A and B are shown apart, each in its own frame.
Chain A
Amino acid sequence: MNECYQPIKGKIERIIDETPNIKTFVIRPQTPIKFLAGQFIELTLPGVGEAPFTPSSSPHVEDTLEVTIMRAGVVTNLLHATTVGATVGIRGPFGKSYPMDKFFGKEIQLIGGGVGMAPLRSLLLALMAEVNKFKRVVLKYGAKTPADIVYKGQFKEWRKMKGLEISSCVDSAKLCDNWDDKVGVVTCLLEDSVKEKEDKSSTIAVVCGPPIMMKFATLKLLEQNHKPENIYLSMEKNMSCGLGKCGHCAVGQYFVCKDGPVFTYAQLKDHPELWT
């Protein structure tokens, strides 16, 4: 009998404070979990509940996985209250990953907002492992304030990486933040690409963030002649079973958990509940 509903055990090995309300949990599962960038897992806090998260660590690392979690509800609040050594449950991985084979040879733009950087970090690490296979890799990241930026230490390292261009912005910054990058919403980072006046028809854009950010980033990309089939969205719905059965994550004819969570805009564009 396939044990699709039974989580396997994992231990929280390390907890990294990213921002005042975001932490990254390094989890060692009892048996290694092999996943692809973009796929998600169901994380159980025993006796409390289960919630879907996309691992933020490299898919090339199998014995541990990292999950970056914003405190937002019952399960995440209590997850934030856990300590190193706590037991969690993991089911998965579920769903479709980013189709790396379709990305080879192309310019890749990762556009992230807030904690939406989590799946993008996993993808970024996968891309950087084969960086020579891509024409160009660009990361555009926005957060509310400088304090809300995740992976602060890693951003410094990434900026030194060959083959990766990074630009970032915050919605607002105080003088004392010493913020010397852009101030504005994520779409302001996309203005740059207009100046470049390059042909965007084969550029891959991968967008992940809060629904409102995904919506306006997508509209901006379309304005800049990105093709709907080359805009990838990481959809976050209320995925519960992970198997396309429980119904919660349905968006029209799609079940986000099995047909996604990675979709192209072309797949979803006609659905009226896309951005809700």
Chain B
Amino acid sequence: MSSKNKFISRKDLTEFLEALSVENNIFHLTDLLEYVKFEKEVDSRPAIDAIRSTIPLKAFFVNHGEKLEHSGDSREKANSCEGAVTKAYGHQTANIIFGVKACDLKAKIIMDEIYLKGVCSDPFYEFNNDNTIIFSSDCPYPSDTCFCNVVGGKPYAESKDYLFDLNFSAMEKGCMVDIGTEKGDKIIASNARFFRDATSQETALREQIRKNAVVKLEDINSAYAGLKNLKLESVLKEKFDSLAWKEFSQTCVQCGGCNNACPSCYCFYLDENIEDKASDELAPKTRLWDACHYTSYGRVAGGANSRPHLYERFRNRYECKFNYRKENFGIYACTGCGRCVSVCPGKIDIRQVLVKLAGEK
């Protein structure tokens, strides 16, 4: 595998994507923070230096409304559902997702732990995972809601930390490209005409852009800098019974937005197909995203509920991200993408909650 950094010019990048789009579905990030399918004839403009997409990366792997049909042509089946993002595009060789941010790559570590490991691998997730190529990209202009630096992240991905096939660092004249996997290496090799080795000036410039992004993040999160030195799992353990949870959750309207927007919220429930009621055949289950903020989440037979109060469900999300999953997988399940801050109609900011909680006596 080539360890050298590559460089591709802006013009060549478009041609490179055109070449890849013959055999793959390319979904690229836009400045509207969406993933849009790259079409050769259409004037699609990847904005890979934008911040993370509104819809999290998990939508490419675990589809809301996915019919869990095991039999038949699995490839066709796994992609025939109306997913949050993938929709019913005819599947070609693979999905290339272009513009994935480091925060989502970190969240994918949690998703992989849950879906690929444990008792068994989830065959639908595994299929999507095997058929997805990730082109990540640096995040030079973090927004006010971004706080990856507070929870041990960086606004760019390095292959020693995260799994990407290729990583693109956008610069004025093109992109510097890091190779993360054999798959990525092969893509470069078979499209060698678009790439050249990066120069030392380009490498230096990239370092400068990355540093600037980190400085910007430090600036944005100066009020929360104290969180960096805390063992948040201990804070969450110690403050489980804090009365402040009631105060924090006061403006929560239980919309589940934070759960749905979160790149590491993995919960789902299995739904029955009502039309099969009269049938003697057992229909496949349908997977629906679920959210621990919903009252129904912890409901069991007889109307009992392990978390009947809103503040308990609200607290659970924090405990899950910073305490429970940390214990399971050794990393926080919050990656600082800030989507929950952006989507919350109750203007709840996870950083402020953590700061207040940590300061609780």
Contact = CB atoms under 8 A, between A and B. Distances in A.
| B is a partner of A | yes
Interface string B314-356: 0000011001110110000000000000000000000000000
A88 to B, nearest CB: 9
Nearest to B286: A5
Nearest to A8: B282
B68 A72 contact: no
Interface in B261-305: 266-270, 272-285, 287, 290, 292, 297-304
Given A2-B120, A47-B279, A272-B240, A73 B268 contact: no
Nearest to A255: B118
B277 A47 contact: yes
A244 B114 contact: yes
Nearest to B278: A47
Contacts of B300: 73, 236-238
A3 interface: yes
Given A72-B302, A237-B306, A246 B324 contact: no
B272 A238 contact: no
Contacts of A243: 118-120, 122
Contacts of B303: 72-73
A6 B284 contact: yes
B70 interface: yes
A245 B324 contact: no
A248 B68 contact: no
Contacts of B302: 70, 72-73
B306 A273 contact: yes
Contact of B290 (A50, A247, A252): A247
Contacts of B323: 252
Interface residues of A, number: 43
A243 B122 CA distance: 9
Which DSSP category, helix, strand, loop or mixed, fits chain A's interface?
A: loop
Contact of B269 (A4, A87, A237, A248): A248
B226 interface: no
A46 interface: yes
A4 B285 CA distance: 11
Nearest to A49: B272
A5 B70 contact: yes
Contact of A44 (B123, B272, B279, B297): B272
Contact of A238 (B240, B284, B299, B328): B299
B35 interface: no
Interface of B: 68, 70-71, 74, 114-115, 118-123, 127, 240-241, 266-270, 272-285, 287, 290, 292, 297-304, 306-307, 319-320, 323-325, 327-328
Interface of A: 1-9, 44, 46-51, 70, 72-73, 76, 87, 89, 94, 211, 236-238, 240-241, 243-248, 250, 252-253, 255, 258, 272-273, 276
8 contacts: A1-B74, A5-B287, A47-B276, A72-B303, A237-B306, A245-B118, A245-B268, A247-B266
